[in-house]
Amino acid sequence: MINTNTTYASFTDFIKGKDNFLIVSHFNPDGDTLGSALAIANILDGFSKQYTLVNRDVVQEKYLFLPKATEVLLPESLVDQTFQYVITVDCADYQRIGDEVTKLLTPDVEILNIDHHPTNTNFGSSNIVEADAASTTFIIYNLCKKLEIPLNLDIALCLYTGLMTDTGSFQYSNTNSEVHSVAAELISYGINVYEVVENIFETSSVERMVVLKKSLNTLEIDSSGKIAWLEIIQELSTKSEDIDGLVNYPRSIKGVEVAISFKQVHDGKVRVGLRSKKYVDVSLIAMKFQGGGHKRAAGCTIDGTVGEVKEVIVQEIKKYII
Residues 163 and 64 in one domain: yes
At how many degrees (to 10) do helices 177-187 and 153-166 cross? 150
69 and 140 housed in the same domain: yes
Domain termination site, one of 201, 225, 258: 201
The rounded distance, in Å, linking the Cα atoms of 222 and 241 is: 28
Together in a domain, 187 and 214: no
Nearest to 250 by CA among 207, 288, 287, 212: 212
pLDDT at 30: 95
Q: Are 321 and 226 in contact (CB under 8 A)?
A: yes
Residue 13: φ, ψ to 5°: -60, -40
Neighbouring C-beta atoms of residue 142, cutoff 10 Å: 17
User: What's the pLDDT score for residue 244?
Assistant: 84
For residues 208-233, average pLDDT: 95
136 assigned to some structural domain: yes
Could you list the residue range(s) of the whole structural domain that residue 273 is in? 207-318
Per-residue model confidence (pLDDT) at position 237: 60
- Find the CATH number of the domain harbouring 263: 3.10.310.30
Rounded to whole angstroms, how far apart are CA atoms 30 and 63? 9
What's 73's DSSP letter?
B
Q: What is the pLDDT of residue 205?
A: 86
pLDDT of residue 1: 34
- Amino acid letter, 157: L
- Are 151 and 144 contacting, i.e. CB atoms less than 8 angstroms apart? yes
In this prediction, what percent of the chain has a pLDDT beyond 90? 87
Please tell me whether residues 34 and 183 are part of one structural domain.
yes
CA neighbor of 21 nearest in space, from 115, 94, 89: 89
Domain membership of residue 4 (yes or no) is: no
- The per-residue pLDDT for 163 is 98
**152 & 46 share domain:** yes
Q: How confident is the model at residue 223, as a pLDDT?
A: 96
**Residue 245 pLDDT grade (very low, low, confident, very high; cuts 50, 70, 90):** confident
Do 164 and 27 lie in one domain? The reply is: yes
- 65 and 188 inside one domain: yes
Q: What is the pLDDT of residue 239?
A: 76
Residue 19 pLDDT more than 70?
A: yes
Q: How high does pLDDT run on average in the chain?
A: 94
Provide the CATH number for the domain around residue 83: 3.90.1640.10
111 has which bridge partners?
Answer: 86
In a domain, 1, yes or no: no
Cα–Cα distance between 320 and 257 in angstroms, integer?
A: 10
Q: Does 87 map to a domain?
A: yes
Same domain for 306 and 226? yes
Q: Is residue 107 assigned to a domain?
A: yes
Region 220-249: mean pLDDT is 88
Whether residue 108 is found in the same domain as residue 182: yes
Is-contact 127 142, C-beta < 8 A?
no
**Single residue among 147, 175, 201 that ends a domain in this structure:** 201
Number of domains making up the chain: 2
Sequence-distant (≥ 6) Cβ neighbours of residue 27 within 8 angstroms: 55, 56, 57, 96, 97, 98
CB 59 within 8 A of CB 68: no
Report if residue 308 sits inside a domain: yes
How does pLDDT run across 56-98, given as a tens digit for each residue? 999 999 999 999 999 999 999 998 899 999 999 999 999 999 9
Maximum distance among all alpha carbons in the chain?
61
**Per-residue model confidence as pLDDT tens digits over 147-184:** 999 999 999 999 999 999 999 999 988 999 999 999 99
Whether 16 and 126 map to the same domain: the answer is yes
CB atoms within 10 A of CB 35: 32
- Read off the pLDDT of residues 279-298 as tens digits, 9 standing for 90 and up: 999 999 999 999 988 899 99
Query: Residue 85: phi, psi to the nearest 5?
Result: -115, 120
Q: What is the mean pLDDT of residues 38-46?
A: 98
- Among 201, 222, 253, residue at a domain's last position: 201
pLDDT in tens, 109-154: 999 999 999 999 999 999 999 999 999 999 999 999 999 999 999 9
> 3 lies in a domain?
no
- For 212, list phi and psi in degrees, rounded to 5: -60, -45
Looking at the domain assignment, is residue 2 inside a domain?
no
Kindly state whether residues 261 and 305 are assigned to the same domain: yes
User: In the predicted model, is pLDDT for residue 3 greater than 70?
Assistant: no
Claim to verify: residue 246 and residue 179 sit in the same structural domain: no
pLDDT for the residue numbered 236: 59
